[in-house]
Amino acid sequence: MTFEEISELVSRHFPDKMMETDIKGPQPILIVPADGIAEICEFLYRDNRLFFDYLACLTALDNGVTLGTMEIIYNLTSIPFGHDLMLKIIFPRNAEGAPLPVVASVANIWRTADWHEREAYDLMGIHFNGHPDLRRILLPEDWEGHPLRKDFSVQDRYHGIYVRYEDGVSEQLPANEDRA
């Protein structure tokens, strides 16, 4: 099934959802509304003509404070039918001090989403509503902030350990400073 056929099928099934296509890149992208992502993914998985049974990757992007948006890209594959699909959602970025942006989890559809969503939560600060175990996966639970956000400010120390790096080289410690 081609990208155009898949897009048409999804659009006809969800006539109330505004969808766009982006065919500029090497792989076309179906851009769907963030508030419909779980419902659309459920359809892509359950429909016998599509059967997207594998979420290969979920990638989060921060477009920065100026644009004020974030994105999540879902790379789906139908193993039996041999077709792929990229979905994208674009949603407002939270202001500093405001609650994290919220997107519906798809972990109940694809088990691989569990780890991908936890990584996006940990590093980008996106809350996945309905996730079965949303907690940090790479950083310690008491880490402050989300390091892949464009406005992230690196702390100098974490539990007394220097963590700030400039150009890949740690800051020089004063001669009399305790390294512990």
- Please choose, from the candidates 99, 110, 120, the residue with its C-alpha nearest in 3D space to the C-alpha of residue 41: 110
pTM of the model: 0.87
| Assigned token pair, 85 | 């699909």
The model's pLDDT over 30-51, given as tens digits with 9 standing for 90+, comes to 999 999 999 999 999 999 999 9
Q: How close are the terminal C-alpha atoms of the chain, in Å?
A: 59
Dump pLDDT digits (tens) for 141-173.
998 889 999 988 877 888 888 877 665 554 455
CA 44/CA 6 separation, integer angstroms: 9
Residue 37 burial (CB count, 10 A)? 21
- pLDDT at residue 61 greater than cutoff 70: yes
CB 104 within 8 A of CB 128: yes
Average pLDDT rounded to a whole number, residues 4-15 = 96
Q: Residue 119 pLDDT more than 60?
A: yes
How many Å apart are CA 83 and CA 142, to the nearest integer? Answer: 41
